[in-house]
Structure 1
Amino acid sequence: MAIRVATLLGITLAGAVGIGGVTAKVTQAVQLRDGTFHFNQPPDLVDATTTFDSVNVWGATYYFTINIPEKAGEPLQRLVIAQREGGDNIRYDLEDSRAFEGTRSNRGAKVALGKVTRNRDTRTVFVNFDPPIPPGKTVTVGLRPVKNPMYSGVYLFGVTAFPAGEKSHGQFIGFGRLHFYSNDLD
């Protein structure tokens, strides 16, 4: 099998082509001159949902569904989920984080997670996949808050996807929007 490599403006595109007219699946990865990898086509944030939308409720799960397109060129290694809006700094039980192929309503096989960490000051959760999720898959990550926020309103979570590799460039893929409602009957 021959390997074709093209470099244009410091960007390397690599693909495999078969011999004798038989072509293998071509996956193109974008690598900059400095060695940084990028997705050829970034993943999509498909959905963000919660199991309970009332304030101060225990036992909720926040689901973020990501589609990694066939043309991504690189597997998905890490998600960064940053709370951008909302009146309360949500705390998580990171040990209870989970992931699976498919969507919340159409679950597939369990997906192994690597390290899941949090920076409380920046209200950011880092979810690592071990192994990375290959192109052509849809994966859903479930984060378990200690409890839902105290304050009602819209909470926005910016989601950034990183391809596999030591030196990878994250691409912002959208905002997950969760709305929490007060239990007050006033």
Structure 2
Amino acid sequence: MFNKLVQFAARSLILSGGVLISISSSDPQGVAANAGQFQGQGYFDHAPRLVRSAVSMSAARTPATYQFTISVPQDAGSPLQAVRVLQEKNVEILSLNPDRSRAFLGDSFAGGTPVALSAIGGSRPVDSNELTVEFNPPIAPGQTVTVSLDVSQNPQLGGIYQFEVTAYPAGNEQSGVPLGVGRFNIYNY
């Protein structure tokens, strides 16, 4: 077993962040890594990018939609299965509304082709500041998707509100790739 691991390590390069890239496409002894998969688990060869975050209304105490646009590169190696949005700690925690969550192809508030969601919410308690949406089918490499999350109202207090965005490849619900932070300025008018 140790020899197989050494042989596998000699054919692979581990980059910071735990992304595994195969240099060899086959292994005569049965230790192989196909593009986008390792031991049956999906992974990204090239991670998606958070290209835009926007809020429909920036006034405190008003209903709003928070949008996160993600581009899946052509050479991603795996489709995008799910996205998790988590509000960073702040004076006020927003409750994201899973019932009004949606997604579409493209990157503007005008919307685009709707994308079906197979699951919304994930394992989240009521009034959580975290929401996961799962695409059905997954978003193919080369496409851009926008996730729209509604809140009943913006925070009572103006300020900067930040949301961590994490992408999950098809076939791997365990290994999300952090895409960055969506940042919204909410104002007291």
Give the TM-score taking structure 1 as reference length. 0.78
Task: Give the percent of matched residue pairs that are identical in Structure 1 and Structure 2.
Answer: 35
The reply on whether 1:134 has 2:140 as its aligned counterpart is yes
Equivalences for residues 98-109 of structure 1 within 5 A: 98-105=102-109, 107-109=111-113
Which AA in structure 2 matches 1:89?
Answer: I
The reply on whether 1:28 has 2:35 as its aligned counterpart is yes
Provide structure 2 residue ranges, at least 5 long, that are not aligned to the other structure: 1-6, 13-19, 26-33
The reply on whether 1:37 has 2:52 as its aligned counterpart is no
2:44 and 2:169 in contact (8 A); partners too: yes
The reply on whether 1:179 has 2:185 as its aligned counterpart is yes
The reply on whether 1:81 has 2:88 as its aligned counterpart is no
Which AA in structure 2 matches 1:90?
Answer: L
Q: Distance in 1 between matches of 2:154 and 2:173?
A: 35
Aligned length: 163
Structure that is richer in strand per residue? 1
SS of the residue corresponding to residue 57 of structure 2 reads coil
Q: Distance in 2 between matches of 1:90 and 1:167?
A: 25
Q: Deviations over 1:14-71 (max 9, x none)?
A: 87xxxxxxxxxxx93142x5x432200010000100010011002x110100000011
Distance 1:167 1:99, change over 3 A: closer
Distance 1:145 1:66, change over 3 A: same
Stretch of structure 1 that moved more, 164-173 or 154-163: 164-173
Q: 1:61 aligns with which of 65, 75, 85?
A: 65
Cα deviation for residue 107 of structure 1 reads: 3.5
1:86 and 1:153 in contact (8 A); partners too: no
Provide the aligned C-alpha RMSD in A.
2.4
Which residue is equivalent to 1:3?
A: none
Q: Distance in 1 between matches of 2:46 and 2:58?
A: 33
Q: Distance in 2 between matches of 1:129 and 1:167?
A: 13
Q: Distance in 2 between matches of 1:8 and 1:176?
A: 37
1:79 and 1:128 in contact (8 A); partners too: yes
Which residue is equivalent to 2:4?
A: none
Which residue is equivalent to 1:161?
A: 167
Which AA in structure 1 matches 2:132?
Answer: F
Q: 1:48 aligns with which of 20, 44, 53?
A: 53
